[in-house]
Structure 1
């Protein structure tokens, strides 16, 4: 059991080290030597767990994707209204981008590979999750019935992606929470059925706090 636990720990250490290198240098710029050095392990250990850099990149993307899907499910358990869940989801994903190197690397790799034959499933799943929340919001009278759920879901994902990219370029994501809040400041009044300013502000302030045991160790977003 101890040997198996060490193997699991080493595998995760390699994934985290690879994520840091992919985030800093991109897929092409991150060599296996860099990944080994960054992970503090050996090439033998790396090849024991992974056959190639391509496989490592796929695992990083998959882990980031699973983190996002898990977040959707956990926020759903709060029982909050659809609009609040959408706001919570964007802010939690923003928090993960700032604090989790695997999430940052997974997003960068997905964007890099999207120019060729990159994975589109993470975006498709995120759009689908938003669409279901929009449908629920319309059904419960929170979101205007005139809204097209597919269009709004794609717009939310696209807007969030642009906001976090611009925040990275201009402020190293130090202002990301504020920029996400601004996004919802303009978006909520156009889709919510309520016109009460205080209620809209309360929805915009919605946040989800993950269990302490699942919260990644804070680190710089640089």
Structure 2
């Protein structure tokens, strides 16, 4: 058991070190030697756990997706209205990407997955499906118009969030990400919300940004 626990711990150290390297220089710029240095391990120890750079990149993507899915499962099973959950998910995912190196690296690697030999489509498919589910719930709640094309809206919202966080990363290192997500929703919500519900919901993005957008305390 002790040996197994050490192996799990070592694997976690490698994934975190790989996330730091991939997040900084991308898949093409990273090398296994760089990751060895970042993890403080020998090449033999690294290759014992991961046979190739691609295998390690896929492990980082999986780790990021597990974090995101864990958040999504918790919110999807909450009793909150669907539209509230959809927006809250965007802000909490933004917080993950902004504050967690594994999440940042996983997102970057997913976007660079054309460099990999296997397609990485599951994260996109899962979040489009989650958006569609929550929009349907919001229609039943009476917050979203019944004539909204749910599938088209979900296919737009998920990549719109991806684009917003990528551009925020390029321009400000994601320091302004929460405000950019507020702006995204300020354009999207009017096309979704039942007119009679607009006054009650128009401030929801800013309210959620205030709650979930706080930066972590510095050490």
TM-score for the superposition, normalised by structure 1: 0.88
1:59-208 to 2 correspondence within 5 Å? Answer: 59-114=59-114, 118-193=119-194, 194-202=196-204, 204-206=206-208
Give the corresponding residue for 1:214: none
Give the gaps of 5 or more residues in structure 1.
210-216
1:32-43 to 2 correspondence within 5 Å? Answer: 32-43=32-43
**More displaced 10-residue stretch of structure 1: 38-47 or 114-123:** 114-123
Alignment partners' CA distance in 2, 1:47 and 1:93: 31
What count of residue pairs does the alignment treat as equivalent?
A: 212
Alignment partners' CA distance in 2, 1:20 and 1:203: 31
Give the corresponding residue for 1:212: none
Give the corresponding residue for 2:20: 20
Question: What's the offset of the Cα at 1:19?
Answer: 1.0
Alignment partners' CA distance in 2, 1:24 and 1:13: 17
Alignment partners' CA distance in 1, 2:49 and 2:115: 28
Per-residue CA deviations over 1:102-148 (Å, capped at 9, x if unaligned) read 11111111111147753111101110111111111112221111111
Q: Secondary structure at the match of 2:120?
A: coil
Q: Secondary structure at the match of 2:142?
A: coil
RMSD after superposition: 2.0
